[in-house]
Amino acid sequence: MNDMPKFLQRINQDLWLVEDERENMKISYRIKDVIFSAQSEFQHVMILDSYDFGRMLVLDGVVQTTSLDGHIYNEMITHIPLSIHPNPERVLIIGGGDCGAAREAAKYDGVKHIDMVEIDEMVVKVCKEHLPAVSGNLADPRVHFIYADGMEHVKEMKNHYDVIIVDSSDPIGPAKQLFEYDFYRNIHDALKEDGLMVCQSQSPLFHREIMEQTVKHIKQLFPIHKIYTATVPTYPGGFWSFTLGSKKHQALPEEPFNKKTKYVNDAILRTCFELPEFLRTK
Ligand code: SAM
């Protein structure tokens, strides 16, 4: 390969993606092939084919989702809030360019309208084309793609959505403001009076401060707030947190979970809020 894409290294004869955004830790993936690589207006976008994780979406050198484990994250960020809300009709996904969360939300017949507000059209386009294991054949007429800044979108909407899913990248670049108090205040106001939201709140081990800050914002705004976790091997440390903020609903339905999924099932739905001791007091 003559033009080595940014963030890739040749080590001996092999091509590696080396994630080195942390000072003292590097995570590396051996890469078979570069499927797509380009700089968008917002970030550097790659689809790589890796040996262990299959195809992966990489933004600014950081793995976002992969064919092997993308379903774990996307099912957990979507089915928990959509199961807790008794009648979700209008759903907003902020970020989520790999389309995995929208794909899961479309499994609910009662959902009438899904707005997906993604800042970077290139991410959606390449995931639909080159990452089918995550994006699926997402062509559901209820999904409306809006290419805009999620922060600006929620500022405009009042009392509009039943469920908001914040599927953002790490708090750097365009996603930085998606971890700030004002954003969550606007989310609160964009939700109907019994609405609820969920966001990915980073690693409880490696991003403790960001997680605690996010939980604090949500706690200040919503009477009901809960952390849940899942294991997503490609995120640093594997152990990942999500935070739910709800104006009213918190109970799960009595009927068993019945969506066709690969990770979430009824038992996971009912136990994911059980936390290890160091997180229980949050
Ligand atoms: N599951 C992933 C994770 O936790 O690493 C997140 C994946 S998803 C691909 C994140 C998306 O958020 C990216 O496609 C990025 O372009 C989008 N994004 C970042 N900042 C945004 C903003 N301000 N408004 C809307 N979308 C944004």
Q: Verify whether ligand 1 is closer than 6 Å to residue 118 (CB atom).
A: yes
Active site residue 3: no
Distance 198 CA to ligand 1 centre (A): 14
Look at residue 261 and tell me whether its pLDDT is greater than 60: yes
Q: What is the pLDDT of residue 258?
A: 95
| Sign of the torsion formed by the C-alpha atoms of 169, 175, 177 and 183 | negative
Q: What ipTM does the predicted assembly reach?
A: 0.96
Give the span between the Cα atoms of 114 and 105, in whole angstroms: 8
Q: Is the CB of 174 under 6 A from ligand 1?
A: yes
Per-residue pLDDT at 1 exceeds 70: no
The pLDDT assigned to 137 comes to: 77
Burial class, 251, CB count within 10 angstroms (exposed 0-12 / middle 13-18 / buried 19+): exposed
Q: Ranked by mean pLDDT, which of 132-141, 168-177, 222-231 comes out on top?
A: 222-231
Domains defined for the chain, CATH in brackets: 8-66 (2.30.140.10), 70-280 (3.40.50.150)
Handedness of CA 70, 71, 72, 75 (dihedral sign): positive
Judge whether residue 7 has pLDDT over 80: yes
Average pLDDT over the chain, rounded to an integer:
94
pLDDT score for 46: 97
Q: Is the dihedral of CA 71, 72, 78, 79 positive or negative?
A: positive
Region 185-196 average pLDDT: 98
pLDDT tens readout for residues 77-118 = 999 999 999 999 999 999 999 999 999 999 999 999 999 999
Task: Give binding residues as ranges.
Answer: 43, 98, 118, 149-150, 167-170, 174
